[in-house]
Homo-oligomer: A and B are copies of this chain.
Amino acid sequence: MQFDMKNETILKLGLPKGSLQDAALAKMAKAGFNISVSSRSYVPYVDDEELMIRLIRAQEISRYVEHGYLDCGITGYDWIKENDSDVHEVGEFIFSKATSQPARWVLAVPENSTIKSVKDLEGKRIATEVVNITKRYLRKNKVKAEVEFSWGATEVKAHELVDAIVEITETGSSLRANKLRIVDTLMISTPRLIVNHEAWKDEWKRKKIETLAMLLKGALEAETKVGVKMNVSQENLPKLLQSLPALRNPTVSTLSQDGWVAVETLIDERVVRELIPQLKALGAEGIIEYPLNKVVY
């Protein structure tokens, strides 16, 4: 089952196993690549004969891409940096939708700790899953402290077992529930598509990767956009278009009813809740919003 490294019409892609797995497979599906994970979950089936997928822990993907065991992979910026991997980065992909804040690695201490800034860590002990990132951060801040690897449940350690932790968070609610206070942010991390340098020089692989990146980007872009369509009288049309720059380059079509046109365009899903009341105020009627699968500019 050893990879045949000479086969240049197979692209070996690593996807993150575990907590990011479902999101990654869902994005791949939206990009047009249907993946089914059988009982032996490490080697899933994908409906593209030019693609070979491996499910690997996000922490390790960059290492295997760097060494060429994989041509490319999707993993977090944090683990690329933690592993200090020398890889080519093709693009950034925001997977999460539930919250508007990206994942951050933060320095946190008990609410009532006397530690107020990184300088107060001098001589202290810190537990974290990202030992290298933390050590680099301390060096940059000229602070000497002991950093120890945490196998998990890092948050509970801050109260008794160490002086501070470096932990990942999105909304901060888990830190608050553990009565921890954020002192500083070390790194903001988002998923990246990374490529082995040799693979990137191979024309066929590079083209395959660029197409994959375009489709993935199109799928992710589509999650933040919606299609909007509305009817407006020709009389109100100029004011509507002028007042609302969010309505970029709309399609304008004739309606069967005289004097009315249909206006259609894409807008950011996040402005919809403010835009719709404005559209109504400017005379739009029959406003509909519909979902998108992909958006490629």
Contacts and interface: CB of A to CB of B under 8 A. Distances in A.
A54 to B, nearest CB: 7
Contacts of A252: 253-256
A1 B253 CA distance: 52
Interface residues of A, number: 85
B256 A253 contact: no
Contact of A99 (B34, B227, B272): B34
B33 A273 contact: yes
Interface string A18-44: 000000000000011110101110110
Copies in the complex: 6
A156 B42 contact: yes
Contact of A288 (B173, B227, B287, B289): B227
Contacts of A17: 153
Interface of A: 1-3, 17, 31-34, 36, 38-40, 42-43, 45, 47-48, 54, 56-57, 59-60, 63-64, 69, 97-100, 148, 150-153, 156, 159-161, 171, 173-174, 177, 211, 214-215, 218, 222, 225-227, 231, 241, 249-257, 260, 262, 264, 266, 269-270, 272-273, 276-277, 280, 285-297
Closest 6 CB pairs of A and B: A32-B273, A289-B294, A42-B156, A289-B293, A38-B173, A57-B151
Given A215-B272, A218-B276, A290-B290, 18 more contacts: A1-B159, A1-B160, A2-B159, A17-B153, A32-B270, A36-B99, A38-B173, A54-B160, A60-B151, A69-B161, A249-B286, A250-B256, A252-B253, A253-B254, A286-B295, A287-B294, A288-B294, A290-B291
